[in-house]
Amino acid sequence: MDPQFFVRLSVGQLGLKLPGANARKAARSFLCEIRLKGFPVQIAPVPLITSSEFNLDPHTNAAVFSLDESDLNALSAPGCFGAHGSHLEVAVYVVGRRGGHCGIVTGMRRLLGVVMVDVGAAEWRDGKPAMPHHGWVGVGRGEARPELHLRVKLEADPRYIFEFDDEVALNPQVVQLHGRIRQPIFSCKFVRDRRGSQVDQYWSSSGGEEKEAEMMRRRERKGWKVVIHDLSGSAVAAAFMVTPFVAANGRDTVARSNPGAWLIARAGATAPRSSSAVESWQPWGRLEAWRDQGGAAGSKDTVCLRLRLLPEGQDSCMLVAETPLRSDKGGEFAIDMDRQAPAPAATGGAEYCAASLGEACVGGGFVMSCRVEGEARSSRPLVQLAMRHVTCMEDAAMFVALAAAVDLSVKACRPFRRKTAAAKNKKTAATTSSPDPLDLDT
């Protein structure tokens, strides 16, 4: 498998020093906007440094940008940033104290100054790490001006990119993308074991409210599983629905209090590769999913996904990702140790993370991402996987199985009561070119 070239641009070790008496009476908060053309602005708080002895965490990043080949070409193009050339822009603000949101104080903002860092160095173009800036720099104008500490780093972050060539429930191939080349790597087998349950049907139009209430209590989606096979036909990874997706009491959707769950597993060293039984696999992670209803008027429902790693031989587990996706449009589920909050090292979280995802996880960094469509859309998940976390084909297959579970979770979290809506939109449904392969479970 040949990876595609990516560059990871990270900004971290932020700190601000105020000159003279200003440092002693500063009761305000500070934030910065970190801008790179072609990417959304990222906002981060800036801690105030009041002592000559300070220790800024070298592993904490305030912003991370992932640049693919097209981004790198744009960055290298003459004049792509106007008169400033290929620069990263860090604007520092002092903020009032009128409440807070997501850890950042909100209110009136006043610009202290802007720092420009040239990121057009040639080293990263050759795959070598580059440190365009690491240290203090003056902010604003004048001799007595604030100083900002920051570290800007560029490093190669090659990734494998995979795509399902059809919907997961239609047993697609999984191909690796490299430029215009689409190379088959895995095949995907979806199984829906409905034995023992006869209630996954459309809502009955007769029987009264009592029968309908009883059906709501029994509604569930269960028995789904996805097995990933290599090109030789051997099963190498799988996702098993181990906790049914059940409608909460008084609702027709899966609630946070009782989420559905998947077991993500890889084939054991001595397991028969043709088996699809849970007992023949080595557990790796548990993916939970539920649906949160939109609170404000007009706001859309979200499907929330939470991944925990399962330490081998231990009862505890470690949270590595929790992501909300729009139920109607989908979105991106990602494992990124720069942006997620893993368990503290004191609990063994960092050590286990290193054992499960590779030692690079301890220092942060991108692991994988999966882009899926919304609940009513045809979806072909697109998977990006950091090369450093892949030592064999089974590693890649495990993340592909996780991506399949993410996609199916969006579908499994659909409301159970859909017959009336389907009848109203019968004409629209009749014009749909490809029927929903999971239609019996809606």
Mean residue pLDDT of the chain comes to: 78
**Which residue, 55, 81, 58, is CA-closest to 11?**
58
Most confident of 1-10, 298-307, 398-407, 422-431: 398-407
Q: For residue 394, give every residue at least 6 positions away whose Cβ sits within 8 Å of its Cβ, in sequence order, or none.
A: 236, 237, 266, 267
Alpha helices in 194-305 (DSSP H): 208-218
What value does the mean pLDDT take over residues 113-130? 78
- CA pair distance 276, 365, nearest whole angstrom: 33
CB 236 within 8 A of CB 397: yes
Instruction: Collect all residues with Cβ–Cβ distance below 8 Å to 213 and sequence separation of at least 6.
Output: none
Express each pLDDT in 220-273 by its tens digit.
889 999 999 999 999 999 999 999 999 988 888 999 999 999 999 998 754 444
Band (431; pLDDT cuts 50, 70, 90): very low
Under CATH, domain 7-156 is a member of which superfamily?
C2 domain (2.60.40.150)
Neighbours of 57 (CB within 10 A): 9
Q: Could you tell me the residue ranges of all domains in the chain?
A: 7-156, 159-441
Q: Return the biggest CA–CA distance within the chain.
A: 82
In tens, the pLDDT along 350-389 reads 334 444 454 434 445 789 999 999 998 899 999 999 998 8
Q: C-alpha angle 44/33/151, rounded to 5°?
A: 70
Output the pLDDT for position 371. Answer: 96
Amino acid at 76: S
pLDDT > 90: percent of the chain: 44
What mean pLDDT do residues 87-95 have? Answer: 92
Q: Residues of 22-39 as b/e, b for ≥16 C-beta within 10 angstroms?
A: eeeeeeebbbbbbbbeee
Mean pLDDT check: name the lowest of 49-53, 145-149, 397-401.
49-53
Asked if pLDDT for residue 219 goes beyond 90, the answer is no
In this predicted structure, the answer to whether residue 100 has a pLDDT above a threshold of 60 is no
For 155-169, 253-267, 272-286, which range has the lowest pLDDT when averaged over its residues? 272-286
CA dihedral 241, 264, 260, 407 (to 10 degrees): -90
Q: Give the per-residue pLDDT at 256.
A: 93
Pairwise CA distance, residues 147 & 18, whole Å: 7
Residue 203 has pLDDT above 50, yes or no: no
Poorest-pLDDT segment among 61-65, 83-87, 285-289, 343-347: 343-347
Looking at residue 38, what is its pLDDT? 85
